[in-house]
A and B are shown apart, each in its own frame.
Chain A
Amino acid sequence: MSSAMQIMVVDDEENICEALAAWFQKDGYGVETAGSGPEALERMQQKPCDVYLVDIKMPGMDGLELLARLKEKQPDVDVIMITAHGSVQTAVEAMKRGACDYLCKPFDPDQLSLLMERVMASKALRDENIVLREQLAEQREAIFDGFVAQSETMQNVFSIIEDVAPSSAPVLITGETGVGKELIAHTIHTLSEQSYGPFVAINCGALSETLLESEIFGHERGAFTGAAKARRGRLEMANNGTLFLDEVGEISNKMQVALLRALEEKKFERLGGSRAIETNFRLISATHQDLPQRIKENQFREDFFYRINVITVPVAPLRERLEDVPALADHFLERYVQETGKRIEGFTQRALGMLMSYSWPGNVRELRNVIERGVVIARGRMIGAKELTFLNTPSAECQLGTLTLREVEISHVRAALEACNWNISHAAKQLGIDRSTLNRKIKLYHMIRP
């Protein structure tokens, strides 16, 4: 049993101290005894205990006074009062003043065992909670150290994040694929009051409408074919935490209506269910789409847009903040060098120039993949132009001024697909985007496999 736990029995009757001490010693606890309140306080100074069993009726300083003095010196201490049958009222009073429980003597061995188990379990939970809160506080302090960005644009984003995080207002993060929208959502959650609750993310673009509905709202047993058992949805899972709807622009109008109701009423029903389930979470959404434009095209509901877009955090694409590229490249280099165990010290000037003159359609994610690839194929101490030759294809060169962004993107995507023999997974990896994003671009630009 727990040898670390220290218990002090405080009673003016020596035989009671002895009997309880013998009982606890057999359970492996460290036991101290004291015959009076002042003696207990003196011993506490020398060796504080985790749990105190205190007799209410003692000459001089009584149990209630000792309880107050113990709590004053050690607020998180557990004090169990021992009382005779006649003074239960006093014991109840003691509990109001902070005692964790009381025992009427004589008590059943079962009662004492159960009480000690409960006290120990509660103490273990409290200790764990303290450790977790300390860890979280450290993470909160370190969170901006983890961000790699020097540009003024990104410094403004950090400033917005710091301002909006403490409120519970819905946030919409906008920006192209690969700029780090989920990382920003996670940061807002970590800095918010909901940080002790869960962070529940769902990519709305990755699931069909039916699946998405079931994922978000959950379902009851038998709600549809294959629903063999009831399942909690993300709305339920996010209770007291944050719900992150990634690619929110992909949600159908029908789903937007259902979600809007759940967001406004803070309750919903599972699919196939009739019981209203209450939930309370902070909503963060993200999209790469121009939602006001989609509203004009009747593709997105205006009421839903205003519900999710109380605060906007716009994240600029990497090509608009190329000054962040060197720091990001160094950051990813360090990560992959650690992972692979290779001894690579940095980039040659030429390689750095190539990284700085590339348009990064896949943004930070693409840069990360490029550095990973560079580390894997590099043979020397530096990553040079040789390791980045694939950035030099005609489509990869920055041709701003001669081509529109759309044209550059079409050309680059096509080149990547051709280079990978139309293997969608490989091409998506090379571009630094998801398969679903690549499929969407193929469809959008009407690209057909030759």
Chain B
Amino acid sequence: MHTNQSKPTDKALVDLILLGHVNETAVSIVAANLQAIMGLNTDIRPVLEKPDYAYVPGRNQFDSAKIIKTLCSITGGAPLKLGLIESDLCTPILTFVYGESQLGGKAALVSLHRLSAEDPAVTYQRIAKISLHEVAHLLGIRHCWKTTCLMKHSSNLEPLDSLSIYFCSACEYEIQRHLKTLINRDT
């Protein structure tokens, strides 16, 4: 079961927020996959400035936690915010992250920086996978042990590439359950 089973709604549930310049094709692919695989209507919001407030000079990276806090503070629009950025992200304890999100929260963030491959199709698939994974965390879904499930944790690109772009039936069921709650709460 890979399609949305929850009550259809025309209202966007996810706002895609671009932080500085972001590859347009990648943005479209993320929006299309959120709609097709998770059944989430998605709005692409106007581009925000690059988040210099989160720049970590010694590491030449951006602090994902600080950006997420800013995304959370945005009022109006869809209940979930997914930031996209081309720059490299880190946290105070991790050397890098592909993406970060608040478990059961409001905002998530994905960096395109480390996801590029020689084949653009692979690059876009990686971006879509990380985006779907982080948005599922926003719905409260934790990591899954099943090797075929998109919620399996990937700490580098090799396991990420071997993952399916779909969720296992248990995670899919949980996503739909949380989505219903979100839609009911929002309408």
| Interface residues of A, count at CB 8 A | 22
**B65 adjacent to A108 (CB under 8 Å):** no
- The yes or no answer to A448 lying at the interface (CB within 8 A) is no
B93 interface neighbour in A16, A110, A113, Cβ under 8 Å: A16
Taking CB atoms and an 8 Å cut-off, the chain B residues in 77-126 that contact chain A are 90-97, 100, 102-103
Q: Tell me whether A18 is interfacial, beta carbon within 8 Å.
A: yes
Q: Which residues, 1 to 26 on A, are CB-close (under 8 Å) to B?
A: 1, 13, 15-16, 18-20, 22-23, 25-26
Q: How far is the CB of A236 from chain B (nearest CB, A)?
A: 35
Q: Is the CB of B142 within 8 A of A109?
A: no
- Least Cβ distance of B14 to chain A in Å? 19
Q: Say if the beta carbon of A106 comes within 8 Å of chain B.
A: yes
Is the CB–CB distance between A19 and B153 below 8 Å? no
A20 to B94 Cα, complex, angstroms: 9
B187 at the interface (CB under 8 A from A): no
A1 touches B92 (CB 8 A): no
B153 near A27 (CB under 8 angstroms)? yes
Docked CA distance A18–B94 (Å): 12
- List the B side residues contacting A18 at CB < 8 Å: 65
Contacts of B155 in A (CB 8 A): 108-110, 112-113
Indicate if A105 sits at the interface (CB-CB under 8 A).
yes
Q: A417-433 CB contact bits vs B (8 Å, 1 = yes)? A: 00000000000000000
A113 to B95, CA, bound (A): 13
Nearest residue in B to A11 (C-beta to C-beta)?
A: B93
Least CB distance, A21 to chain B, in whole angstroms = 10
Cβ of B103 and Cβ of A113 under 8 Å apart?
no
Alpha-carbon distance between A110 and B155 when the two chains are bound, in angstroms: 5
Shortest CB-to-CB span from B171 to chain A, Å, is 12
Q: Known: A22-B103, A108-B155, A113-B155. Is A1-B142 also a contact (CB below 8 A)?
A: yes
Most buried by B among A22, A25, A113: A22
When the two chains form the complex, which single residue of A1, A25, A82, A109 contacts B145, counting CB atoms closer than 8 Å? A1
The answer to whether A28 has its CB under 8 Å from any CB of chain B is: yes
Q: Is the CB of B92 within 8 A of A106?
A: yes
Which A residues are closer than 8 A to B by beta carbons?
1, 13, 15-16, 18-20, 22-23, 25-28, 82, 105-110, 112-113
- Flag if B94 contacts A108 (CB, 8 Å): yes
Q: Which residues of B contact A (CB under 8 A)?
A: 59, 65, 90-97, 100, 102-103, 137, 142-145, 153, 155-156
Which chain A positions have C-beta within 8 A of B65?
A: 15, 18-19
Q: CB distance A106 to B90 under 8 Å? A: yes
Q: In whole Å, how far is B31's beta carbon from the nearest beta carbon of chain A?
A: 24
A-B contact pairs, 16 of them (CB 8 A): A15-B92, A16-B92, A16-B93, A18-B65, A19-B94, A22-B100, A25-B103, A25-B142, A26-B103, A27-B143, A105-B92, A106-B94, A107-B93, A109-B155, A110-B155, A112-B155
Given contacts A22-B103, A109-B97, A110-B155, contact A28 B91 (CB under 8 A): no
Task: Tell whether, in the assembled complex, residue A106 and residue B95 are in contact, meaning their CB atoms are under 8 Å apart.
Answer: yes
State A129–B59 Cα separation when bound (angstroms).
44
Which of the listed residues A16, A28, A109, A112 has the most CB atoms from chain B within 10 Å of its own CB?
Answer: A109
Residues of chain A within 8 A of B97, CB atoms compared: 109
Task: Say yes or no: A28 contacts B90, CB within 8 Å.
Answer: no
Task: Provide the residues of chain B in CB contact with A110, threshold 8 Å.
Answer: 155-156
Q: How far is it, in angstroms, between the C-alpha of A82 and the C-alpha of B92 when the chains are bound?
A: 12
Q: Which chain A residues border B92 with CB–CB below 8 Å?
A: 13, 15-16, 19, 105-106
List the 4 closest A-B pairs by CB distance, nearest first.
A109-B155, A110-B155, A19-B91, A113-B155
Residues on the B chain within 8 Å of A23, using CB: 94
Task: Report A-chain residues with C-beta under 8 Å of the C-beta of B102.
Answer: 22
Docked complex Cα distance between A1 and B102 (Å): 18
Q: Which residues of A contact B153 (CB under 8 A)?
A: 26-27, 113
Given contacts A27-B142, A113-B155, whether A20 and B93 have CB atoms under 8 Å apart is: yes
Question: Bound complex: CA of A16 vs CA of B93, how far in Å?
Answer: 6
A27, B143: Cα distance in complex, Å: 5
Instruction: Tell me the smallest distance from the CB of A27 to a CB of chain B, in Å.
Output: 5
